[in-house]
Amino acid sequence: MKRNLLSIGLFLFLLNSCSQMSQKSLDEKTSDNMVVAEKQMNRQLQLIDESGNIQYPRTVTENKIEYVPIDDWTSGFFPGSLWYMYKLTGDSKWEKLAEKYTENLDSVKYLTSHHDIGFIIKASYGNGYQITKKEAYKAVIIQSAKSLATRFRPVPGVIQSWDENHGWQGKRGWMCPVIIDNMMNLELLFEATNLTGDSTYRNMAISHANATMANHFRKDFSCYHVVDYDKIKGGVRGKCTAQGYSDESSWARGQAWALYGFAVCYRETKDPKYLELTEKIYKFIFTNKNMPADLVPYWDFNAPNIPNEPRDASAAAVIASALYELSTFGKPEYKETADKIIESLSSPSYLAIVGTNGNFILMHSVGSIPHGNEIDVPLNYADYYYLEALTRKKALEGK
Ligand code: GLY
């Protein structure tokens, strides 16, 4: 009897030690990825400093780091990553750098040639205003929302994403193309109303979200990439893809933008229909037979040669970040899913070795396969949403 009790005691002791070890190794992994993130961001900044200019790294093309002009849709992600480095480390060095790379984007506030001013300004000035409460940042956010509002088309009730003559229309002849990515630009409009009390911006965002909800989704709650509206008579002219495998396929980052965008709509309106939609999108993504075990999706859920297709770490990072937010809206189990994604992205399969990968943090993302652009490369927005996800995870865990 005594021996039996001793054995049970020993067993429980070993079990407890093992669980402490696995917890410890998880925490160690988190600090490892922060070491990589800090070193990679430092190296990136050093290279930019050596060039003598303020530059915005986007990706690696033919072994060279590609920098983008400030009106590129991705220009805000590098300053945005700097803001998250500040939040994650508390080191004021990152805050100073984030200010420098944000404030150089000032003239973007007048950009009206595409919808992506929302991405650019939210990542840079949006994060900056949340942290610093600088009045000058607030003014940029409001002016940027005014610029985005010029693209609102009242008859169909949507923000026009791309101009009619966008190079990706092919022979289709678009009139008012709206891409699912546009859901990400609504946050800027909600923020402008929160800052000014003028409900015009918020009403546009809600109108756009409702049209997207009605027209972008299929019966299984996967979504189309592009819906083209008639801006004179109203109604839908056509549905297709630009960056997915086919018009009827489910482009992975598109599903990610949808999940994240409607999570923001629920946060800002508390309208339950948006939360219900995120649950359906979640179900599509995580019950999909083509979702790999590590939860980093292939670039398109219907790509023809799965499992021999590139993964898209950027889609995984966007999904993880959205799930951390959604976990606070009565879905605590979503945090476990997000944690699994973060664990995968923080493993050697996706986390860069310091000094490689063009000094970006994550490997294996995809820009646009149909255009032969950015296939299996680092992307600044994969890094940005990964750091955002880590920031949200840390806040949820009270660290
Ligand atoms: N917004 C463009 C993209 O997701 O590639």
Among residues 184, 175, 176, the alpha carbon closest in space to that of 158 is found at 176
20 SS3 class: helix
Residue 181 CA to ligand 1 centre (angstroms) = 6
Contact of 159 with 213, CB cutoff 8 Å: no
Q: Does residue 216 have its Cβ closer than 6 Å to ligand 1?
A: no
Find out whether the beta carbon of 95 lies less than 6 Å from any atom of ligand 1. no
CA of 384 to the centre of ligand 1 (A): 14
Preceding omega of 307 cis (within 30 degrees of 0): yes
162 lines ligand 1 (CB under 6 A): no
Task: Determine which residue's CA is closest to atom 2 belonging to ligand 1.
Answer: 181
221 lines ligand 1 (CB under 6 A): no
Instruction: Give the ligand 1 atom nearest the CA of 116.
Output: 1
* Non-local CB neighbours of 38 within 8 Å, separated by 6+ positions: 85, 89
Query: Could you identify the atom of ligand 1 that is nearest to the CA of residue 243?
Result: 5
- Point out the ligand 1 atom lying closest to the alpha carbon of residue 367: 5
Phi and psi, residue 162, nearest 5°: -115, 155
The reported pLDDT for the residue numbered 17 is: 42
DSSP 170: T
What residue type is 329 in one-letter code? Answer: F
Give the nearest ligand 1 atom to 381 CA. Answer: 4
Helix (H, G, I), strand (E, B) or coil at 258: helix
Q: What is the pLDDT of residues 23-54, one digit of tens each?
A: 445 566 667 999 999 999 999 999 999 999 99
Position 126: which residue type? G
- Pick the atom of ligand 1 nearest to 253's CA: 4
Residue 240: which H helix or E strand, with range? strand 236-240
Neighbours of 369 (CB within 10 A): 20
- 152 C-alpha vs ligand 1 centroid, how far in Å? 20
Q: Specify whether the CB–CB gap between 116 and 122 falls below 8 A.
A: no
Distance CA 190, CA 113 (A): 20
Per residue in 269-289, pLDDT (tens digit) is: 999 999 999 999 999 999 999
Does residue 312's CB lie within 6 angstroms of at least one atom of ligand 1? Answer: no
What are the start-end ranges of the H helices in the chain? 2-51, 77-89, 92-103, 117-121, 127-132, 135-149, 186-196, 200-215, 252-269, 272-286, 313-327, 333-345, 380-396
DSSP string, 78-131: HHHHHHHHHHHH--HHHHHHHHHHHHTTGGGGG--SSTTHHHHHIIIIIHHHHH
The pLDDT value recorded for residue 365 is 98
Instruction: Classify 11 as helix, strand or coil.
Output: helix
| Beta carbon of 383 within 6 Å of any ligand 1 atom | no
Is residue 191 a contact partner of residue 121, using CB atoms and an 8 Å limit? no
Ligand 1 close to Cβ of residue 253 (< 6 A): yes
Q: How far is CA 30 from the centre of its chain?
A: 20
Question: Rg of the chain over CA atoms, in angstroms?
Answer: 22
DSSP 379: B
Smallest Cα–Cα separation from 152: which of 161, 143, 165, 164?
161
Dihedrals phi, psi of 37, to nearest 5 degrees: -60, -45
How many Cβ atoms are within 10 Å of 29's Cβ, its own excluded?
15
> What pLDDT is stored for residue 167 in this prediction?
77
Probe target for ligand 1 pocket from 73, 119, 185, 365, with the most ligand atoms within 8 Å of CB:
73
DSSP one-letter string for 175-197: SSEEEGGGGGGHHHHHHHHHHH-
* Residue-level pLDDT at 3: 52
d(CA 354, CA 300): 29
Cβ of residue 225 lying under 6 Å from some atom of ligand 1:
no
What is the token pair recorded at 369?
A: 């396969």
- Catalytic amino acids? 116, 181
For ligand 1, whether the C-beta of 115 sits within 6 Å is: no
CA distance 302 to 297: 11
Q: What is the pLDDT of residue 319?
A: 99
Using 50 as the pLDDT threshold, list the residues of the chain that sit under it: 1-2, 5-6, 8-24
- Is residue 53 packed enough to be buried (19+ CB in 10 Å), middle (13-18) or exposed (0-12)? exposed
Ligand 1: distance of its center to the CA of 381 in Å? Answer: 9
Ligand 1 mutation target, pool 68, 168, 178, 181, most atoms within 8 A of CB: 181
* Residue 309: HSE in the Cβ half-sphere, 13 Å Cα cutoff: 24
Q: How remote is the C-alpha of 373 from its chain's centroid? A: 19
**pLDDT score recorded for residue 98:** 98
Q: Report how far ligand 1's centroid is from the alpha carbon of 251 (Å).
A: 11
Q: Judge if the beta carbon of residue 58 lies within 6 A of ligand 1.
A: no
Query: For ligand 1, atom 5, which residue shows the shortest CA distance?
Result: 367
Tokens of 221: 């709650």
| Whether the Cβ atoms of residue 226 and residue 239 lie closer than 8 Å to each other | yes
Cβ(73) to ligand 1 under 6 A?
yes
Start-to-end CA span in the chain (Å): 44
| Distance (Å) from CA 165 to ligand 1 centroid | 18
Three-class DSSP category at 262: helix
